[in-house]
Amino acid sequence: MFLKSCILMLLFTFCSSRDTISINQMLKDGEVLISNEGKFVLGFFTPGNSNRRYLGIWYQKVPGQIVVWIANRDSPFNDSSAVLSLNKYGNLVLYDSSEPEASLWSTNVTAEASDSRVAQLLDTGNLAVVHNVSKEIVWQSFDHPTDTLLPGMNNGMSRKTGKQWFIISRKSVDDPGTGEFIYKLNPKGVPQFFVYQGSKPYWRSAPRPWKSQLSSEQNYTYVFNQDEIYESYALVDLSIITRFVLDPSGTVKKITWASRENLWQENWSAPMYRCERYGECGAYGKCSPNNINRFECTCLPGYEPRYPSEWSKRDASGGCVRKRLNTSSVCRNGEGFVKVTPLKVPDSSVGVWVSMSMSRTDCENVCLANCSCTAYSSVDFGSKGTACLAWYGDLMDTMENEDESYDLYVRVDAIELAEYSRSKSILHKKGMMAILVSSIAVPIAVIIAAYCMWLQKKRKKEGALLYLKHITTPNALVERSHSDLPLFKINSIFAATDRFAPANKLGEGGFGSVYRGQLPNGQEIAVKRLAKSSGQGIEEFKNEVTLIAKLQHRNLVKLLGCCIEGEEQMLIYEYLRNRSLDFFLFGKYSVQIIYHCFG
């Protein structure tokens, strides 16, 4: 009976699912709107361990109820008495069913009574109030984001209306109320995106449009005109589920759903480390993420720590001041610029001048002509020309960043410029000398190495042949031994026998011990290691080689090779698992096969 009730409930929900609310219609707690293609759901929910109820939008096809928008984030319900309706004026109103006149949230769009509006949940995740006939959007949730930016949302502002689009973090995972971090555009100077902790900058992006994050999956759009300034992104592949979210700790994250792994993957986040926090090294300081194990802060050229004792304690918040502040001038007194790269350029929201069409030389002249100009940067946009950015105040929040890869030209006095030019000249000379030496040494080293390798191989061959000629007569046996027997390094014998481990010892004869081994190709071998005191002479060796050359039988041991290194002499046999092996290794006519290794 219970199962039947559940099935009926599911069927009822499926059959009654809708994506719109018309005038005077209601959506009660327990009911939902589902977008046309089933991508998003609008309904009431309780986050985490909370017992409060909120109206929100979440993904339909992703487990875990990931909420991307909340209507009443700061006005939750304590029970399931909430109702959402579209009133006669075409406004969405959220209220307690016991007090219909006291709304806790409303779209609050000024309008006369109208029955031509509907509220619709779109497949983009946007809840919109639209005219039924003209399809004009009167109000939309995309203009009122909470902590999430979906594809199609704007992050910026309208210059005409003053309307701003930004996101605010939650208080916590269980409390979606307004948190302390805000991610928004700062339009002053050259536009940049900031994360603010209250009113204090916490993180800053590179200036826009100087930096544009593009990928094969999204198309990023940057709009900068007299009416609007904002950034937005759209999906090329609509099947991809992705979002930007500002978490309760103040970190901006780009997260994408990986359907195969059935989990969310973090593609990008900021700030990731201390260097990315705003003003970590103070004014005129430069933060270097690669130096974090030492001290990530250094001063820009021509500057030194304001409070050296604090820097020694790894506290650079006081920043840097110009060297020789009272003894040298940077105003029409032989001063110049030192290039620092690659960087995320300093904060450009205060005390900057910008031209979107100016060469680097003209940009430098503009900065040099004004004694208040502390630095400039020039960026080549290719067919769109070259932009110039000049700073007339403190250089704040400068960071080494290879991804940004911008050049900053810092104004320095004549003394600093001369020191820099001298050190640069020395480095240049050292670099040229290193290149010259390398260009000569490398070919010589290659030739010497090639000659040594050739000589080593030649000596191996000649040594093996001379040794065989010395201990054998010049007959067919010599030719056969030279042409057929392989030459191996002693390390291969050590590896095969586990360095002559006692466990591999097969026995011991008059001329040495015999060990079992295995070559890398899997072939089993028997290695006879001649004792230094064996006293075996050339004549005995010749007899054994002659005998083994004549004996060809399936039950007799086969000659494989030999190894000689220093005083070591080793003979390698095919390992046979019958008595013939023992007979030929320890019998009267023991055969020795020379396996030469020079290693």
pLDDT, tens digit, 9 for 90 and up, residues 461-480: 555 444 444 444 434 333 44
- Most confident range (mean pLDDT) of 10-24, 73-87, 396-410 is 73-87
Structure tokens at 43: 């309904």
The mean pLDDT of 571-579, rounded to a whole number, is 73
Q: How far is CA 556 from the centre of its chain?
A: 63
What is the band of 204 on the pLDDT scale with cuts at 50, 70, 90? very high
In whole angstroms, give the CA distance from residue 470 to residue 599.
21
The mean pLDDT of 383-401, rounded to a whole number, is 89
pLDDT recorded at residue 539:
56
pLDDT, tens digit, 9 for 90 and up, residues 280-310: 999 999 999 887 677 889 999 999 999 999 9
For 362, half-sphere exposure in the C-beta direction (CA atoms, 13 angstrom radius) is 10
Q: Is the pLDDT of residue 218 over 80?
A: no
What is the band of 28 on the pLDDT scale with cuts at 50, 70, 90? very high
pLDDT recorded at residue 440:
66
What are residue 287's DSSP bridge partners?
Answer: 297, 399
Structure tokens at 179: 């948190």
Question: Omega before 271 cis (within 30°)?
Answer: yes
pLDDT recorded at residue 491:
82
Give per-residue burial for 65-84: e unless 16+ CB within 10 Å, then b: ebbbbbbbbeebbeeeebbb
pTM above 0.75, yes or no: no
Mean pLDDT of the chain, nearest integer: 82
Please tell me whether 323 is known to bind a ligand.
no
pLDDT, tens digit, 9 for 90 and up, residues 349-366: 989 998 888 999 999 999
What is the band of 221 on the pLDDT scale with cuts at 50, 70, 90? confident
pLDDT recorded at residue 21:
96
Q: Please, are residues 81 and 29 in contact by the beta-carbon 8 Å criterion? A: yes
pLDDT, tens digit, 9 for 90 and up, residues 142-178: 999 999 999 999 999 999 999 999 999 999 999 999 9
What is the band of 441 on the pLDDT scale with cuts at 50, 70, 90? low
pLDDT recorded at residue 261:
92
Higher-pLDDT residue of 235 and 557 is 235
Q: Is the pLDDT of residue 125 over 80?
A: yes
pLDDT recorded at residue 438:
58
Query: Based on the number of CB atoms within 10 Å of its own CB, is 505 exposed (0-12), middle (13-18) or buried (19 or more)?
Result: middle
In whole angstroms, give the CA distance from residue 354 to residue 388.
6
